[in-house]
Amino acid sequence: MDIRTGNGYDVHALKEGLPMWLGGVRIPSDTGFVAHSDGDVAIHALCDALLGCLALGDIGHLFPDTSDEWKGIDSKILLEKVVAIVHEKGYKVGNVDITIALQKPKLALHILTMRQTLAPILGVEEDRVSVKATTTERLGFVGRCEGCEVWANALIMSE
């Protein structure tokens, strides 16, 4: 069996009055992410982790923000496309682990919904989808509520 791992990282700026999407879930918030797509920074980092497993570059390369095709797109569709690539290459997802750094709102109540939303797209059970959230204790750009930072790791294995 061939096993591969990858990591992904993404940042989006916060702005008042925009919808906040994280991990495929609409989060009630006064602020949302500035982006060409729906701004789901957690899914973007996850896509990059999966692409990283296969050394296929990043989602900016696959879905350029200069293209109208991806304007305002639901990032779950981008994830579906990336998972399809993983399958085409002869692999399936083993597990993923996502860490979201956001000062507010608190995400604890939404973590399970994110896992339940992402698992079927990834083709795995919920216990293979980890989502963790932290504040940065008011330090840095995350702490000043200027943006959100996400790290993701993925493991894929040959089918």
Residues that bind Mg ion (CB under 5 A): 10, 44
Angle, CA 61 vertex, CA 58 and CA 67 arms, to 5°: 135
Q: Please state the closest distance from residue 40 (CB atom) to Mg ion, in A.
A: 8
Q: Please state the closest distance from residue 10 (CB atom) to Mg ion, in A.
A: 4
Q: Please state the closest distance from residue 61 (CB atom) to Mg ion, in A.
A: 12
Complex with Mg ion: residue 10 or 149, whichever CB lies closer: 10
Complex with Mg ion: residue 12 or 110, whichever CB lies closer: 12
Complex with Mg ion: residue 4 or 44, whichever CB lies closer: 44
CB 80 within 8 A of CB 50: no
CB 128 within 8 A of CB 93: yes
Report the largest interatomic distance among the alpha carbons of the chain, rounded to a whole angstrom: 48
The closest residue (CB) to Mg ion is 44
Q: Please state the closest distance from residue 12 (CB atom) to Mg ion, in A.
A: 6
